[in-house]
Structure 1
Amino acid sequence: MSHFDTVVMVDWSGGNDTGPKPRADAIWACVARMGRAEAPQYLRNRCLAEDWLAELFEEEQAAGRRVLAGFDFPFGYPAGFAKAVTGSADPFALWAWLERRIEDAPAGNNRFDLAAEINRRFGGKGPFWFNGLKRDIEGLPRRKTGYVNPFPERRAVEERAPGTFSCWQLGGTGAVGSQVLMGLPVLARLRQRFGAAAWPFERLDNWLAFVEIWPSLTVGSVPDGWIRDAWQVHEVARLVSGLAPEKLQNLLNVENPEEGWIFGVGQEDELRQIAAQPPRLSNDCFALPPGVNWTPVEDALHMLEARLHPVTGIETAGVDQATGRVLAEDVIAERSNPPLPNTAVDGYGFAGGRGPGVHRMPLVSGRAAAGDAPGQVREGAAQRVLTGAALPDGVDTVVLQEDVTLSAGEITFRGPIKPGANTRRTGEDVQQGDVALTRGTRVGPAEAALLAAIGVRQVPVHKPLRVAVVSTGAELVEAGATAADGQIFDANRPMLLEMIRRLGHQPVDMGRVGDDRAQLAQLLDQAADQADLILTSGGASAGDEDHVSALLKEAGAMTLWRIAVKPGRPLALGLWSDVPVFGLPGNPVAALTCALVFAAPAMARLAGAPWLTPQGFEVPAGFTKAKKPGRTEFLRARIRDGRAEVFLSEGSGRVSGLSWAEGFVELPHEAVEITPGTPVRYIPFGSFGL
């Protein structure tokens, strides 16, 4: 079985506890599902890491999810070692042997002594080397001087993977040997507790699989601001969780019953290419549950929210180039804001507050202005300070200049004034190391200012979502051209292109096509090459000339969502060459309504942002309407004199109503009777992102 719901990648460590602050050469782990990775977890020692993994496995098992757990150390030793030590070539016999003998605690372990004990069995000059302790250990050399290894220096797979390190080296750069000695006992316990299968020694038919993965095989350069180990587990988890089941099955189809194997060796180039691409949507992402015919708006939105995920790639951009882009990861403050305590007003600074009454204080020479390095003020004295200046040492309180009388080298003011008055604390806005902006945030002017203030120069962002627009219909001609009887100008395309631009995406104008299925298929091919999402208008129902839905059906990836909505109803959803297609109605009012209600939040999600739920407001109605049950209705509306008024005609072809309106009044699925003053939900177009 090659389908896994959850992937967790672990970067292991053979050393001692690394302390509370995240750092390199420690244990890092990351969980991913469907090609989307969570924030990496820093685990300061192996005891905490084992408990964290056990808790994760318990939660995943209870949820009925299959888990692939990757670890970055060898699962086996070169041929002959297991049998020489345990009497059996079974790698699990060696796992169990080590689990019985390794003693581990956050502050230290016995790995060097156990390695020396093994060496003494074979003459005391190998196979292990590098004693990392201050005391000498009989049988364990500090260097390879006089080193003798009775076993192969490397496994067969390591001969095919340049850059890997020997499992016999216990310290220094690439101390894989310590990772193996300290990691296999943990795997032995977790395997026994949860019934895991270890690759490639066993068939992966269980709900939990352990797989040896070397991140450096496929993970490229580390972006600025990332710890290498954290970046690698993040990228590996994202890559493996996004692999198609058949591809994953092919990668796992290897045999090496004693030594083990490194996932992906021999297919590195292909994996790097896959890693560079964002995950695509599954072929059944738009499938409706059995028996569903007319879908309420709320249900349709919930299904889209649950099934869509970001499809755009990730790149690093400078803060000055990030505006309008969606953050691909949380941004950590590199500097506190403000970086030092400072004054919020022009005035005079001193230490401590003062009680009621008149206070006189000597005034020291000079002043503190914004940009000055902090000076020092002696106890009991005051200094002139200007707004934004870093507080001098010995100053924690500022009195406003207008509350002070200045004379003969001293200031006089009337209390009380509290300690800390009129000052800003270090990190009062954002503390260094805090999450300043979360993944999925679209960077605007305010976010750009915050990024600059906390010292961030570059951020990981999603590439812009490219949205292609195709108009269909033999009746359409370009605006300004000569229109024959029976023809109309194409209003949908300029409308949708501008909507896409205002929503922060990259519009791709594919033009229009008549009612010709072959030409439409060719245009969709071109659109799929140039865009991440395709919006079509017209031809989305089930009639003779509804070629969009017909082509998507022929491609085997089409669902006609009959949505209980007015205006609108038919919404053709499908995939064309793995690119999602939203087939909108042909009438302009219905096209824009469906685009804003359904496509806009979908585009935001595909672009890496959170699902967009437009903010509505309850206002009194300025109109009368009796609505029957069975459909959600969106009326073109605007606010005048505190009331919602609606466009006189509800016809889908009345384009002027879109220009007249400033938002929608949303009427619920149920029957309602509206008279002037009845509360209704008004959603301004700005809530959709326009």
Structure 2
Amino acid sequence: MSFDTVIMVDWSGGRDRGATPKKDAIWTCIARDGAAEAPLYHRNRQVAETWLRDTLAAELAADRRTLVAFDLCFAYPAGFAAQLTGSDDPLALWDWFADRVIDTPDANNRFTLAGQINALFPGTGPFWGNGRPGHDVDHLPRKGRDRTGHGLPEHRATDRAAPGAFSPWQLSGAGAVGGQVIMGLPTLARLRHHFGPDLSVWPFQSPDTSIVLAESYFSLLPARLLTDHPIRDAAQVSLYARAFSALTDAEWRTVLAVDPTPEGWVLGLGHAALLQKAANPVLTPPPLRNDCFAMPQGAHWTPVDQALAHLQSHLSSVTGTEDIALAHAAGRILAAPVTAARSHPPHANAAVDGYAFAGPLPEGSHTLPLHPGRAAAGQPFAGTVPPGHAIRIFTGANIPAGTDTVVLQEDTTAGAAHIALHGPLKQRANARRAGEDLTAGEAVLPARHRLTPADLATLAACGTAQVTVHRPLRVGVLSTGDELRAPGDPATDGQIYDANRAMLLADIARWGHQPIDLGIAPDDRPTLRGILDAAAARCDAILTSGGASAGDEDHMSALLQGTGTLALWRIAMKPGRPLALGLWADTPVFGLPGNPVAAQVCALIFAHPALALLAGANWPTPQGYRLPAAFTKSKKPGRREFLRARITDGAVEVFPSEGSGRVSGLSWATGLVDLPDDAARITPGTPVTYIPFTSFGL
């Protein structure tokens, strides 16, 4: 039942579009097994039909079963075909159109033919819309509201089931699909006759032939899944070709299980979740390489910048993805770029309360007659304002047809039938352009971006309802050492309370990850091994404190050594220096120093950016500021120093003690002073780099 090849076709009812790829033209895309080729542009229907015929012949010769899905209605509402052909058979209607449509690259008779068809029905209609200004067509009304008594439904059952589907009777204007149908059915008829018994049309015929034609609709999947192709039509054929070609045989049986009716059905309608999964499967990244932390030392001490560069180049996301509602996405990391589902604003609208008219106005006084009606936000004016007239308009209302400029109501004198105002007034004054903020199909936010509340507003404004995000990174925190006790537990003079775990768990939560408390591990390797085994099963990364050096009681380093992945980094920095890094059952482990100040500084400098990469985000670089020092210090060369600091009266002061055990200095400080590797002599007024804790996400 499945297909070897899927071809998606975005059809067009217009004239030749020229050699340069454009929107609102004909685009096709071939996909196999969930992988799509580059979308192809076809300048007119004649070129596209030749390509389709040749491509299907090649697929047939290669013994590949092929589905071709077109974004045009394969049938009309009930009663239409019988009036023209004497039969409800939609395929007979295809032949009827093929006999009567005249189509060249530069001209076609779709409007004239629609008028002739209307004449066969009672009343006025069903077709409406004429895209050629000043050229009326007999029996073809320009407005849909001018139709009456033709006796046909506005939509098919499948159109009513597909939110946003347009009527096949509309030939021009926004959302018109009627012209596509009239100009598409003859092509379908010719393909059907050319391939004969090798081709069937779903759902009217059993889809068990080598070639199957079907009707599709490019609003089944959320627009956020579209690629960043500059032309939306090309992105659509690529997305849907990829999605349909990824379906399994069983899934195809489900999708194709539709009872045939003369009105037809949209392929995939009612199976959006299945198609979305096929188009955007949840992917679990491969585990990190065993040597991801291995760094050619070259020297006894590793500079901070070299260590950071190594992490940035060797780590990658370890989390899968999921689709969630936009309202729940704050703080989550995008796993795929988001494009605007529609333009914002979707229509030119008024920036002020006032009166709309066609500008510009020259200098001097002017009086304009008022056109009946009004335009308000959510209540657009349906008609056209005559030249030289004005109409009442309110902030946020769509600019009515026939106008493009708005005058502020305070700048007018209004009567019952006229307004008076002074020029000059520029054309389009006080009017926002459609899409001036965001254009439909435009890239809005990139992958790896962490969503803020402001981002949610931006995405909501352009119609995004769901986003694909990385699953939260689960980070375990484990303290090690026989001397540690949990706060509140009894403790002797030889024991201390565990300060690191509460601090690191809070860090992780503030960084947007999911903290997991792994408790305190004793200095016993079998016990620690069991804790790590359990942690690796429920965590994506593990932070430990203590036991990260190379002594007899540094059990964390010893256990990681046994996995063959230990990298014992001696960082040329103060505080800190020892970092034990490795993998435990493919889970990255960051062994931080045991002293609280050193543990926190190493967490900020190394764990913060590394965990961001593991979570699927971009590498965050903290923002520092050059400010005058309010302290004196003589620094030796050869290592980077980070001092607890805060700003007082525009200058940076540092905590009186540099000891790593003085945890109170972390509460006193609002950031760190970053002193470079070189020697330095600092006196009050010397510029230093101050990095606030907020730059580390705290």
Q: TM-score, normalised by structure 1?
A: 0.67
Number of the residue aligned with 1:643 = 651
Number of the residue aligned with 1:169 = 210
Question: Residues 615 and 127 of structure 1: is their aligned pair in 2 closer, same or farther, counting only changes over 3 Å?
Answer: closer
In the TM superposition, residue 222 of structure 1 has moved relative to its aligned partner by 7.9
Question: Residues 228 and 280 of structure 1: is their aligned pair in 2 closer, same or farther, counting only changes over 3 Å?
Answer: farther
Number of the residue aligned with 1:325 = 332
Number of the residue aligned with 2:694 = 686
Match of 1:631 among 639, 646, 666: 639
Question: Residues 111 and 385 of structure 1: is their aligned pair in 2 closer, same or farther, counting only changes over 3 Å?
Answer: closer
Number of the residue aligned with 1:493 = 501
Match of 1:334 among 323, 341, 359: 341
Where in structure 2 are the equivalents of 1:150-169 lying within 5 Å? 169=210
Alpha-carbon RMSD across the aligned residues, in angstroms, is 3.9
Residue 357, structure 1, aligned to residue 364, structure 2: yes
Q: Give the SS at the match of 1:468.
A: strand
The CA distance in 2 between the partners of 1:369 and 1:223, in whole Å, is: 30
The CA distance in 1 between the partners of 2:642 and 2:454, in whole Å, is: 32
In the TM superposition, residue 397 of structure 1 has moved relative to its aligned partner by 1.4
What letter matches 1:446 in structure 2? A
Number of the residue aligned with 1:656 = 664
Match of 2:398 among 390, 394, 417: 390
Number of the residue aligned with 2:196 = 142
Residue 671, structure 1, aligned to residue 679, structure 2: yes
Mean CA deviation greater in 468-477 or 615-624: 615-624
Match of 2:546 among 538, 556, 565: 538
The CA distance in 2 between the partners of 1:129 and 1:42, in whole Å, is: 18
Q: Contact 1:326–1:608 (CA<8 Å) still a contact in 2?
A: yes
In the TM superposition, residue 465 of structure 1 has moved relative to its aligned partner by 0.5
The CA distance in 2 between the partners of 1:433 and 1:141, in whole Å, is: 36
The CA distance in 2 between the partners of 1:579 and 1:305, in whole Å, is: 17
Q: Deviations over 1:599-643 (max 9, x none)?
A: 011111111111111111122222222211111111111122221
Tell me, which stretches of 5 or more residues in structure 2 are unaligned? 12-20, 43-47, 69-186, 200-206, 226-235, 247-280
Question: Residues 579 and 31 of structure 1: is their aligned pair in 2 closer, same or farther, counting only changes over 3 Å?
Answer: farther
Q: Give the SS at the match of 1:143.
A: helix
The CA distance in 2 between the partners of 1:607 and 1:675, in whole Å, is: 41
Question: Residues 315 and 511 of structure 1: is their aligned pair in 2 closer, same or farther, counting only changes over 3 Å?
Answer: same
The CA distance in 2 between the partners of 1:111 and 1:328, in whole Å, is: 35
Q: Give the SS at the match of 1:294.
A: coil
In the TM superposition, residue 334 of structure 1 has moved relative to its aligned partner by 0.8
Question: Residues 599 and 43 of structure 1: is their aligned pair in 2 closer, same or farther, counting only changes over 3 Å?
Answer: same
Q: Contact 1:130–1:142 (CA<8 Å) still a contact in 2?
A: no
Q: Give the SS at the match of 1:551.
A: helix
Question: Residues 444 and 455 of structure 1: is their aligned pair in 2 closer, same or farther, counting only changes over 3 Å?
Answer: same
Q: Contact 2:223–2:340 (CA<8 Å) still a contact in 1?
A: no
Q: Give the SS at the match of 2:501.
A: helix
Residue 44, structure 1, aligned to residue 40, structure 2: yes
Match of 2:555 among 544, 547, 551: 547
Where in structure 2 are the equivalents of 1:4-403 lying within 5 Å? 26-27=29-30, 42-44=38-40, 107=51, 110=54, 142-143=196-197, 169=210, 172=213, 225-226=224-225, 230=239, 276-289=283-296, 291-375=298-382, 376-403=384-411
In the TM superposition, residue 137 of structure 1 has moved relative to its aligned partner by 12
Mean CA deviation greater in 584-593 or 361-370: 361-370
The CA distance in 1 between the partners of 2:458 and 2:551, in whole Å, is: 53
In the TM superposition, residue 489 of structure 1 has moved relative to its aligned partner by 0.8
Residue 528, structure 1, aligned to residue 536, structure 2: yes
The CA distance in 2 between the partners of 1:30 and 1:295, in whole Å, is: 47
Q: Give the SS at the match of 1:142.
A: helix
Number of the residue aligned with 1:85 = none
What letter matches 1:678 in structure 2? T
Question: Residues 664 and 27 of structure 1: is their aligned pair in 2 closer, same or farther, counting only changes over 3 Å?
Answer: farther
The CA distance in 1 between the partners of 2:41 and 2:367, in whole Å, is: 57
The CA distance in 1 between the partners of 2:363 and 2:223, in whole Å, is: 53
What letter matches 2:486 in structure 1? E
Residue 433, structure 1, aligned to residue 416, structure 2: no
What letter matches 1:642 in structure 2? G
The CA distance in 1 between the partners of 2:592 and 2:508, in whole Å, is: 14
Q: Deviations over 1:114-150 (max 9, x none)?
A: 899x89xxxxxx9999999977999x862159xxxxx
Q: Contact 1:397–1:422 (CA<8 Å) still a contact in 2?
A: yes
Residue 404, structure 1, aligned to residue 412, structure 2: yes
Q: Deviations over 1:146-189 (max 9, x none)?
A: xxxxxxxxxxxxxxxxxxx99x9356479xxxxxxxxxxxxxxx
What letter matches 1:402 in structure 2? E
In the TM superposition, residue 314 of structure 1 has moved relative to its aligned partner by 0.4
Match of 1:423 among 431, 436, 453: 431
Where in structure 2 are the equivalents of 1:466-505 lying within 5 Å? 466-505=474-513
Q: Deviations over 1:191-249 (max 9, x none)?
A: xxxxxxxxxxxxxxxxxxxxxxxxxxxxxx98775469548869999xxxxxxxxxxxx
Q: Contact 1:17–1:106 (CA<8 Å) still a contact in 2?
A: no
The CA distance in 2 between the partners of 1:474 and 1:390, in whole Å, is: 71
Tell me, which stretches of 5 or more residues in structure 1 are unaligned? 1-10, 33-39, 47-103, 120-125, 146-164, 175-220, 238-273
